């Protein structure tokens, strides 16, 4: 019996200690933990890819063939290394750019290419090379800068800066006196030429 007496005494002591420590009582509500910081959107890198970006109506804006593409989902932006992009404008206009690097932003509907960019329009029979090219699909505007050289059916040209539309049918050159042809005849002259 002495063992049983000791066990009962020990059990009573445990119950008293637990009761005095608040065991079985409801605890006061603790403050909630602060929310975890939001993680930035994950970036994705794709090797040798073909990407088609569509607008809100489901029409393609551009198709990119690339050696390497880095997608930033938070900014709806892609950075492409060495590749080619086919840009689709309004009224079926098409412009093809070959480049060393390209940033494509679907939200702003803009492309910025660098690294020895070559642009061509088969419809207009025109092409040019430049250090950088910006294509803005919202305004149907193409701007090339730095060492611009090219030609269209009227002749060849050189300039520091070129501004045109997606079809390359009206080209404005500036910043250089090395223009070797008049580009983009006025419509009345084009009609008389026919």
Model confidence over 84-105: pLDDT tens digits? 999 998 777 789 999 999 999 9
Residue 27 lies in a domain: no
Q: Is residue 147 part of a domain?
A: yes
Statement: residue 71 has pLDDT above 70:
yes
Residue 72 lies in a domain: yes
- Answer yes or no: is 31 within a domain: no
- How much is the pLDDT for 178? 60
Q: Is the pLDDT assigned to residue 154 strictly greater than 70?
A: yes
82-96, 103-117, 121-135: the lowest-pLDDT one? 82-96
Q: What integer pLDDT is reported at residue 183 of this predicted model?
A: 47
Kindly state whether residue 36 falls inside one of the protein's structural domains.
no
**What percent of the chain has a predicted confidence (pLDDT) above 90?**
31
Taking the C-alpha atoms of residue 96 and residue 167, their distance in angstroms, rounded to an integer, is 10
Q: What pLDDT, on a 0 to 100 scale, did the predictor assign at position 7?
A: 47
Q: How many domains does the chain have?
A: 1
Token pair of 106 as six digits: 């679907």
Q: If you average pLDDT over residues 165-174, what whole number do you get?
A: 82
| DSSP strands (E only) in 33-109 | 43-54, 60-72, 77-88, 94-105
Does residue 116 form part of some domain? Answer: yes
Whether residue 32 is predicted with pLDDT greater than 80 in this model: the reply is: no
CATH number for position 95: 2.60.450.10
Is 30 a member of any domain?
A: no
- Please give the Cα distance from 78 to 85 (Å, whole number): 12
Does residue 127 belong to any structural domain of this protein? yes
The reported pLDDT for the residue numbered 84 is 94
- Angle (CA) 34 36 38, round 5°: 135
**How far is CA 120 from each of CA 21, 85, 124, rounded to the nearest angstrom?**
82, 11, 8
23/47: higher pLDDT: 47
Domain extent at residue 85: 43-183
């Amino acid at each position: 019996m002495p063992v049983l007496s000791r066990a009962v005494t020990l059990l009573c002591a445990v119950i008293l200690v637990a009761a005095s420590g608040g065991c079985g009582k409801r605890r006061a509500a603790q403050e909630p933990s602060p929310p975890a910081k939001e993680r930035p959107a994950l970036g994705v890198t794709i090797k040798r890819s073909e990407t088609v970006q569509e607008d809100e109506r489901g029409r393609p804006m551009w198709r990119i063939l690339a050696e390497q593409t880095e997608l930033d989902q938070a900014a709806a932006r892609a950075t492409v290394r060495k590749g080619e992009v086919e840009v689709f404008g309004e009224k079926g206009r098409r412009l093809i750019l070959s480049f060393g690097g390209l940033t494509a932003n679907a939200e702003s509907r803009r492309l910025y290419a660098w690294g020895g960019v070559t642009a061509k329009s088969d419809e207009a029979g025109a092409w040019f090379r430049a250090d950088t090219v910006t294509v803005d699909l919202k305004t149907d505007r193409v701007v090339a800068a730095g060492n611009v050289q090219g030609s269209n059916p009227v002749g060849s040209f050189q300039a520091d800066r070129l501004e045109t539309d997606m079809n390359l049918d009206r080209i404005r050159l500036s910043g250089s006196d090395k223009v070797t042809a008049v580009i983009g005849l006025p419509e009345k002259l084009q009609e008389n030429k026919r």
